[in-house]
Amino acid sequence: MPERVASKQRPRGSQGAAGDRPRPLVVAVPKGRVLEQLIPRLQAAGIDGAPLSAKSRQLIREDRRHGIRYLLLKPDDVPTYVEYGAADLGVVGRDVLLERDYDLYAPVDLGIGRCRMMVCGRGPEDLERVYARPLRVATKFPNIARAHFEARGRSIETVFAQGSVELAPLTGLADVIVDLVETGETLRQNGLQELEKVVDISSVVVVNRAALKLERDRIVPLLEAFGRTGE
């Protein structure tokens, strides 16, 4: 019987198929708002972010000169690819890491993608007047929301909403929301207010634990460069 290897911590071999060329270091990056801020940080760390600026639907982008392969992913999927070793390292918002448990090394806060996770509603009374029943909270972050209110001795009922969650208090789906706020413009345009801060958020580098051991010579200098260029 072939020996079974725990798939989550199994990195692919560090040689190419022919065994003569090192395989590229695979870096998972989030599509969307943070990507624009990430590109100059990659440049500053001495690798080429330019392949990520190309307007294209390609989900794999190569920086052949530095031996980097980028995977463009939905932000929520970045830690999954890194944890399973499909990517060696990645960049992800702390919100994603706080919401679910991952077995990852998270050594560097990049200080980009800064925003805040907030409890928001139409006004303070949305939080105060419903003590007779559990507060109903619409969110994409039910675990973070529960922990926030539990720490304040308040029981809540969560309603999962994937996006446009600002609609929930406006339509009666929920009393309040727990969501990310960056400029505050979405709240303003929908007549909502920030009521309580849950936590500050920024983007961090996450690394597959096995890859960190096996590709130490390539990964550690990169982490040091990210650290040096941090804010």
User: Which residues inside 157-186 make contact with ligand PRP, applying CB under 6 A?
Assistant: 163-164, 166, 179-186
Min dist. Cβ of residue 112 to ligand PRP (A): 15
Min dist. Cβ of residue 174 to ligand PRP (A): 14
Cβ atoms < 10 Å from Cβ of 221: 12
Q: 15 - beta bridge partners?
A: 22
- What does the block give as tokens for 43? 């440049």
* CA dist., res. 70 & res. 51, Å (int): 8
- Comparing CB distances to ligand PRP, the nearer of 104 and 168 is 168
Residues with Cβ within 8 Å of residue 111, at least 6 apart in sequence:
202, 203, 230, 231
* CA dist., res. 180 & res. 165, Å (int): 10
**67: three-class secondary structure by DSSP:** coil
Q: Does 111 interact with ligand PRP (rule: CB under 6 A)?
A: no
User: Which residues inside 185-224 make contact with ligand PRP, applying CB under 6 A?
Assistant: 185-186
Min dist. Cβ of residue 223 to ligand PRP (A): 27
- Comparing CB distances to ligand PRP, the nearer of 173 and 181 is 181
Q: By rule CB under 6 A, what count of residues binds ligand PRP?
A: 11
- Comparing CB distances to ligand PRP, the nearer of 33 and 66 is 33
Q: 69 - beta bridge partners?
A: 26, 62
- Comparing CB distances to ligand PRP, the nearer of 72 and 222 is 72
Min dist. Cβ of residue 199 to ligand PRP (A): 14
The CA–CA distances, whole Å, from 144 to 98, 102, 118, 218 equal 7, 15, 11, 34
- Comparing CB distances to ligand PRP, the nearer of 118 and 211 is 118
- Comparing CB distances to ligand PRP, the nearer of 22 and 32 is 32
Q: Which residue is nearest to ligand PRP (CB)?
A: 163
Decide: 127 and 174 in contact? Cβ < 8 Å. Answer: no
Min dist. Cβ of residue 172 to ligand PRP (A): 19
Min dist. Cβ of residue 166 to ligand PRP (A): 6
The answer to whether the Cα torsion of 68, 74, 77, 78 is positive or negative is positive
The site for ligand PRP (CB under 6 A) is made up of 163-164, 166, 179-186
